[in-house]
Amino acid sequence: MATEPPDIPRGMRRIYRRFAHWRSAHPGVRLPIPLRLWKAAAEVAREHGVCRTAQVLRLEYGKLKQRVESGSAAAKVAGRRSRRAKSAAPAPAFMELVGPSAIGLSECLIELEGPHGKMRVQWKGTTAPDLAGLSRALWERT
């Protein structure tokens, strides 16, 4: 077995050696990667990223990403089960509520003139005022 490349992250070296050992045990044969190696690779990818892990371990990015995502979903389900079994956690002392972002706010100025006078409508925000109702009030007699 060749020496490890120096650019392998510290937390990935063990799994790198496991893959190298498995590949050296099956030279020239294209066998499916064992499930235990896939699981270990997915764990490492959660820490170091799917792209970097796929490059270092010479794995197909799409398959590794799928394993990482399916493992995350299974962990969430298991976490929900274990939380139900434990006593209820205390409510948080502080909760931040984030309102809608300021991006996409519009600003508009409309001037209407009718038989009963003039009206100037200016607004800033994401929703427009009821322009039909305002213009009706200007043009119709009350």
Both 47 and 114 in a single domain? no
Residue 80 covered by a domain:
yes
Number of folded domains in the chain?
Answer: 2
Over residues 114-139, mean pLDDT: 69
23 and 74 part of one domain: yes
The H or E element that residue 128 is part of is: none
Specify whether 24 is located in the same domain as 65. yes
pLDDT reported for residue 120: 75
- Report the candidate in 142, 109, 102 with the shortest Cα–Cα distance to residue 125: 102
- Convert the pLDDT of each residue in 62-100 to its tens digit: 999 999 988 766 655 555 555 554 556 676 666 666 665
Contact at 8 Å (CB) between 45 and 53?
A: yes
Quick one: 119 and 54 in the same domain?
A: no
My answer on whether 15 and 81 are in the same domain is yes
What is the residue range of 133's domain? 106-139
Residues 67 and 27 in one domain: yes
Q: What is the pTM of this model?
A: 0.49
